[in-house]
Structure 1
Amino acid sequence: MRQAEQVTFGGSGLDRAAQLRDDAAGLADLWQGMDSRILLIWRGKPLCRIPGEDEGTLSVPAALAWVMSGHPLVSNLAADAVFLGRCESGLARFAVDISAWQPDNLDDTALGGFVDVSEQQHPDLPSDTGFAELRRIMAHLSREEAELAATARAVFGWHQSHGYCAKCGAKSDMAQAGWQRICPSCGAAHFPRTDPVVIMLITHGDAVLVGRSPGWPEGMYSLLAGFVEPGETLEAAVRRETDEETGIKVGAVSYLSSQPWPFPMSLMFGCAGEALTRDIDIDPNEIEDAIWVSRQDMMTVFEGVHPEIRKPRNGAIAHFLLQNWLADTLD
């Protein structure tokens, strides 16, 4: 697929400079250097520049906000920072998690919604910055900043859920600039986890198969998806997941594109599959509904005028694959 790396979070050209992760002195110099910038993360939300009322109609943050290593919020946190790499301009990028901060009058109900539109502003940061949910802003960021934010969110999510050694149970320590955890008790090394997920563009003739999960907003449908099991190929996972969820048998399967999906730490493998039948028999334990949508109807979905189906979320690989299917640019 020629446009494969144009998917959100992919293909920015970020130099992760992995050779520096064991270079403590070199990283210290980078951290203190005038060319370094640090991204703050709070509960998975990156710090962003919040557009003001005089900046037009755009109400979604379209750029990350960065601080320097001398800022009081990070000046003593070099040991807890994740080294993200060097951006195209050569600037070193780090990330620091400040989730221990408790905002005043925090509304936890807003954080748990399907779409979190709340923004938290720290009193020690500029008034035009705030923490925003990455899923809400991902399609508005540059390709480089989207990859940096996704990387930071995924790595800190892994640290949060893997703070103890899986071998002996002792508390482990961050190492390799955030890209490893070492157990001081048994010496076991642990590395960031990535869960493979297949997401399937299943077609039959001029129609595509979409489904919805319980609890989704009314009218929201997307491509079917599921985790790859141990010992399973991507092709086998596509056929198994489609059959389990909808009873549809799939023949030929091909790979299209991938997307890092840091919610919390997945890698989505976009695949195309040719259905052998249109007879749907859903498993209610898997999904709530599944339907075939014609190409013409999907065009009205993307135009936002379909009477029953909402437009897919921009930035997600489902939107990317469907958009390319409609444009006949999957090859």
Structure 2
Amino acid sequence: MTLATGFTGGTLDRADRLRHDAEALAAAMGNWQARLLKLEGGQPEVTEDGRLGWTMLAEAPDEAEFVLLGLDAGRPRFAALLPGAGPQAGFRSPALIAALDALEPGEAATYAAARSVLDWHARHRFCANCGAPTALFRAGWGRNCANCRAEHFPRVDPVVIMIAEHDGRALVGRQPGWPKGRYSALAGFLEPGESIEEAVAREIEEESGVRVSGVRYVASQPWPFPSQLMIACIGLAEDDAITLDAHELEDAMWVTRDEVRAALAGAGPFLAPPRYAIAHSLLTHWAG
């Protein structure tokens, strides 16, 4: 069974063919059906029916550059890279969280792509090879350096997010900055030279002292804060003894399936992660 996760299910044709064709891209920008995603400080405009707001390309500032998000039934869709715009990184305001809760799944996927690629541009205005300014190319899906000819492309950072399982219970933890009572799956970045399974085992042991084996993959999710691929897994714990790393977690605990189901329903012993987060999907999958 395929597990549906937040920021997936996008319906846009990414139209890679247009990224290499300057004439076709110019025609797409001149198409009367072309639309620009409405964003204010990285936050999308959301309609009452959970869809993204769009406007004409002419509404963008004269200095704006355009990223081709794709085609919607042949109709070009763009996002604007504004001059001097800084990176949004992991910032999520209460208004953005409310907007994400209201978005339809496919619409959230379009927003995630736009947010990630615009943030990448804001963080890569200079060449990592020689330090010279870079310029947008490939319809916004790359930057090149006129000085050393290096080409740079949007990156995605892989992150494992997982629960350890022992005797019908799942291990969840919380970080100090989270809302009061929130617990979620543990998570951490993959390191160079490491497999997904190895990263899961290492991160769980580092954060909680729990050793796991038998790691199994569950699902994945793009996470646009700023640009990560969340890889959800479950590992089998050797025992239930917790040795907390206070630098990583404020607390960790074992919870039963009934407790997880109650939390997901909003009436449990802890506050569950938001629905658009893959941790919510992972806990739903495990509890089911």
The interval holding the TM-score normalised by the smaller chain is over 0.9
Counterpart position of 1:85: 70
Instruction: Say whether the 8 Å CA contact 2:89–2:119 is kept in structure 1.
Output: no
| Residue identity (%) | 43
1:255 aligns with 2:217: yes
TM-score normalized by structure 2? 0.92
Aligned residue pair count = 286
Counterpart position of 1:128: none
1:120-142 residue CA offsets vs partner (Å, 9 max, x unmatched): xxxxxxxxxxxxx2x43224322
* Cα deviation, residue 256, structure 1: 1.1
Counterpart position of 1:319: 280
Counterpart position of 2:58: 70
1:116 aligns with 2:93: yes
Counterpart position of 2:203: 241
Task: Tell me the distance in 1 between the aligned counterparts of 2:276 and 2:101.
Answer: 5
1:34 aligns with 2:26: no
Counterpart position of 1:108: none
* Cα deviation, residue 96, structure 1: 0.9
Counterpart residue type for residue 216 of structure 2: S
1:209-256 residue CA offsets vs partner (Å, 9 max, x unmatched): 100111211101100000000010000000000000000000101111
Counterpart residue type for residue 81 of structure 1: F
1:97-126 residue CA offsets vs partner (Å, 9 max, x unmatched): 34869xxxxxxxxx99986234xxxxxxxx
Task: Tell me the distance in 1 between the aligned counterparts of 2:90 and 2:140.
Answer: 30
Counterpart pick for 2:158 among 196, 219, 225? 196
Counterpart residue type for residue 65 of structure 1: G
Structure 2, gaps ≥5 residues long:
none
Classify 1:43/1:97 alpha carbon distance in 2 versus 1 (closer, same or farther; 3 Å). Answer: farther
Deviates more, 1:142-151 or 1:274-283: 142-151
Instruction: Say whether the 8 Å CA contact 1:42–1:98 is kept in structure 2.
Output: no
1:229 aligns with 2:191: yes
Counterpart residue type for residue 227 of structure 2: M
TM-score normalized by structure 1? 0.81
Task: Tell me the distance in 2 between the aligned counterparts of 1:23 and 1:114.
Answer: 35
Instruction: Say whether the 8 Å CA contact 1:8–1:139 is kept in structure 2.
Output: no
RMSD (CA atoms): 2.2
Classify 1:98/1:46 alpha carbon distance in 2 versus 1 (closer, same or farther; 3 Å). Answer: farther
1:12-33 residue CA offsets vs partner (Å, 9 max, x unmatched): 3432111110211111111121
Q: What SS does structure 2 have at the residue aligned with 1:209? A: strand
Classify 1:93/1:114 alpha carbon distance in 2 versus 1 (closer, same or farther; 3 Å). Answer: closer
Structure 1, gaps ≥5 residues long:
52-60, 102-110, 119-132
